[in-house]
Structure 1
């Protein structure tokens, strides 16, 4: 017999630690839960960096777990929540570390991913699983947790808070100029070949300056890889206006910059989903990951998609035969994206009619 779910939960726990793009995709699920049960208490256990992005989200109590603290940090968090019990814990992180963390939390019922979508045998740590949904977008997968609890209104809503200090930070960088934003690098980690070329970005920068008179703001973290990429782009664009903010903003400041941009261009990374959450036009660059699963949701039609080509070229497989979450881990995959592809898609977005505002409040696909 299935473990019963609460008909009217009074305290909902959400366990999702990372990453930036994923927590942005999860916010509409939280909003759906709030609409269904406006009096319910929602506690979200979240990573440190992710919290700095979402801090101030209305109606949510955050409990921050610093992943670098390991087991000691887990024990501290368990002590912090020792007096709390959730009617339902939504275990929304497919990682063994998160599953171990969940063991120290008190809950009447724990809900996790179905066996197809679960990783690291997460279903061992949960009593109920969401309904199977083959080939689902990440945002739809998160919304399936709300559906399992009985939520019917799955309208997409974010309302990410941007404090005045963050807007001031963005204003100091841009001085009121019109701009597009480029975040050229995904999170630097082993065999993460999501980054496009400096030459490609430089061609886009030149185009938006010559065609639209728009400056380009470059953003990113402070890693050596990101700073070197920014330097290469600047060296190729000496004749146009480039504002290099790589390593120079807070996450809230980045949100403010994205909110004020005419458009955002980036690979599969946090900024494309941050732009999606703010309804800022975004061109996602996808070749190593499947955009049908992980594109900025409201702007899926504006993705430059070379994933099928990369699967054929570097995996020697038919795209319809590969696993839904399969990545193309080849350093040349992103070279399948050409500057003309990105410029053409960007031109479409910079037309006034290319705005998905009517899509903003639709429910995610249920097919």
Structure 2
């Protein structure tokens, strides 16, 4: 198709998935610099990407329920887009999309669609399996006649965020950031195992910095880890913002984390990620650019809980079972730490 006058992108959450939309934004802007782009995004997620140049943002506050949907529809009242890229299959997002007027309504293929997704779209991305989430999102431009051929983020980080990060620790030794908590509790590793790895890093001459958001769950996890550490790390849990977190990623040498938003944020600035994967497949949802430093126990989890190898279960299956992360031993993580620093 010729360059559309306007495109609306709908991907409201979560943090990691929102980072995967950014390369698609750059693909569209490079091909069609005159096309007006509007992104319907979550309230928290906008704090990370809401200053991307050349994009109009409409905030969806999912915590506001129906009022949040009405606010989005009111903000877009009177607008009709040449294309809507409906990149979220959850029922709430499908309902939200009904109030967005567009000629081309692009959604997922049949295998990845659910929650009445097929009723709110009239075109689909190519049916593929074995893709990383970023590649799936990138393929939303294909029904429009484009192809995402390179991946670029360039998420803005304000000078004041860099200045704050610079003040948190001196540049006298390499830094291991530890972001221990996922929004999915069953993806979390045991506090005593984090503490053991952090003590190992300290003994190897690294500065260890514990990070996380202000939620009670993240504070509780941080407290549990701190109580078990022999060498007390710098604790910045609850003290940053998303932009300050990005600035810390620019200063560190390695991030230890389960499958979580910070994993993907760190990847956007090129920080090495020691990801902990058992409940989720790193090939699908690990750090996109470089998964060499991840611990991958996904196949072991599939064999334990489903009785068959990961290649024999549907692509994208989550194995969020009690105890699944215990398949990752301290020695597994130390081995990847040593490989990364070598």
Q: Where on the TM-score scale, by shorter chain, does this alignment land: which range?
A: over 0.9
Q: Using the TM superposition, name which of 323-332 and 172-181 deviates more.
A: 172-181
Structure 1 equivalent of residue 7 of structure 2: 12
Structure 2 CA distance, aligned partners of 1:348 and 1:62? 41
* CA distances 1:42-79 after superposition (whole Å, capped 9, x unpaired): 11000000001112112211111100111112112211
TM-score calculated relative to the size of structure 2: 0.95
Structure 2 CA distance, aligned partners of 1:171 and 1:331? 39
**For residues 64-143 of structure 1, what are the structure 2 equivalents within 5 Å?**
64-143=59-138
Contact 2:12–2:60 (CA under 8 A) maintained in structure 1: yes
Q: Work out whether 1:208 is the aligned partner of 2:174.
A: no
- Once the two structures are TM-superposed, the CA of residue 81 in structure 1 deviates from its matched residue by 0.9
Contact 2:106–2:143 (CA under 8 A) maintained in structure 1: no
Contact 2:131–2:284 (CA under 8 A) maintained in structure 1: yes
Structure 1 equivalent of residue 212 of structure 2: 220
Equivalent residue for 1:287, pick from 278, 285, 290: 278
Structure 1 equivalent of residue 334 of structure 2: 343
Equivalent residue for 1:236, pick from 205, 228, 235: 228
TM-score calculated relative to the size of structure 1: 0.89
SS of residue paired to 1:23: helix
Contact 2:24–2:148 (CA under 8 A) maintained in structure 1: no
SS of residue paired to 1:193: helix
Structure 2, gaps ≥5 residues long: none
Contact 1:315–1:328 (CA under 8 A) maintained in structure 2: no
Structure 2 CA distance, aligned partners of 1:221 and 1:331? 24
**For residues 184-203 of structure 1, what are the structure 2 equivalents within 5 Å?**
184-188=180-184, 192-203=185-196
**For residues 5-44 of structure 1, what are the structure 2 equivalents within 5 Å?**
6-44=1-39
Contact 2:302–2:319 (CA under 8 A) maintained in structure 1: yes
Contact 1:55–1:161 (CA under 8 A) maintained in structure 2: no
Structure 1, gaps ≥5 residues long: 1-5, 352-367
- Once the two structures are TM-superposed, the CA of residue 238 in structure 1 deviates from its matched residue by 3.5
Q: Using the TM superposition, name which of 271-280 and 74-83 deviates more.
A: 74-83
For these two proteins, the number of residue pairs brought into alignment is 341
* CA distances 1:289-345 after superposition (whole Å, capped 9, x unpaired): 111211111112322100111111123333222121211122211011112211221
Q: Work out whether 1:53 is the aligned partner of 2:44.
A: no
- Once the two structures are TM-superposed, the CA of residue 175 in structure 1 deviates from its matched residue by 4.1
SS of residue paired to 2:256: strand
* CA distances 1:7-56 after superposition (whole Å, capped 9, x unpaired): 21121110000000001111111111111111211110000000011121
Structure 2 CA distance, aligned partners of 1:155 and 1:238? 44
Structure 2 CA distance, aligned partners of 1:142 and 1:123? 17
Root-mean-square deviation (CA, aligned residues, Å) is 1.5
